[in-house]
């Protein structure tokens, strides 16, 4: 498994804070269009979402939704379809989402290798907190023991990536009990805070994610001003 890209590239990173899923989805689609046309370079978006259940291309069977619509309404959890791989998942404050918009052809890597690299970014980030992240055969994502701490779900069109990985830092795990995450009933979930027994603010992990991403993908990372993306939300 090759963990480093074959050549040094540049990647502009934007830290967007908490953003509604639908707004971030539109942003990604517009950036992908611009990246495919060569109008912009590679980009890494780091954000958190307001409470939302997203449903990937694998769909959501009735038995995967374990609570009624009334519960979701009471908890103010939206439901949004999306074009990433996988089934249903929950996102909320305290969970970091890392969405690279990159040209895999320019990096010279395959989709499979790209997924491996995303998982390696998570493993290296966790190691900075003395957390050992593992792979479980047949179960995508990164696990600590028998509990999932990070998941990967992507879309690649014409070599351009969108979506990416989630990392549970300090988010509320209760909403995961409302669903069968990615169609797996009884899946255990955990967070960095839970594993460490400490309150770890999600914002404190961002710099580590960026450093590990830059190392794994062999990129020179520069921070961009979030305001400069306003034109891409429409």
What are the catalytic residues? 182
Tokens of 218: 């062999």
CB count within 10 Å of CB 124 equals: 18
Inter-residue contact 150 to 165 (CB < 8 Å): yes
| Residue 34 Cα to chain centre, angstroms | 21
Contacts of 15 (CB under 8 A, 6+ apart): 46, 47, 206, 223, 226
Question: Can you list the positions of beta strands (E) in the chain?
Answer: 9-19, 42-49, 52-55, 78-81, 88-91, 95-101, 134-136, 139-144, 147-157, 160-168, 188-189, 219-223
Residue 77: exposed, middle, or buried by beta-carbon count in 10 A (0-12, 13-18, 19+)?
Answer: buried
């Amino acid at each position: 498994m090759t963990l480093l890209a074959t050549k040094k590239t540049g990647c502009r990173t934007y830290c967007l804070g908490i953003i509604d899923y639908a707004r971030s989805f539109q942003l990604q689609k517009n950036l992908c269009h611009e990246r495919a046309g060569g109008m912009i370079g590679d980009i890494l978006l780091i954000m958190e979402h307001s409470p939302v259940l997203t449903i990937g291309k694998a769909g959501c069977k009735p038995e995967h939704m374990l609570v009624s619509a009334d519960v979701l309404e009471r908890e103010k959890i939206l439901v949004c379809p999306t074009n990433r791989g996988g089934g249903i998942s929950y996102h909320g404050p305290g969970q970091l989402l890392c969405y690279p918009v990159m040209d895999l052809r320019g990096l010279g890597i395959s989709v499979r290798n790209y997924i491996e690299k995303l998982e390696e970014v998570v493993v290296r980030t966790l190691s900075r907190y003395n957390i050992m992240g593992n792979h479980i055969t047949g179960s995508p994502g990164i696990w600590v023991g028998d509990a999932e701490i990070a998941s990967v779900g992507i879309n690649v069109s014409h070599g351009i990536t969108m979506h990416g990985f989630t990392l549970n830092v300090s988010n509320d795990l209760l909403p995961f009990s409302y669903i069968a995450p990615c169609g797996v009933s009884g899946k255990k979930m955990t967070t960095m805070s839970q594993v460490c027994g400490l309150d770890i603010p999600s914002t404190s992990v961002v710099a580590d994610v960026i450093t590990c991403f830059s190392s794994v993908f062999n990129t020179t990372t520069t921070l961009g001003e979030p305001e400069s993306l306003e034109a891409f939300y429409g």
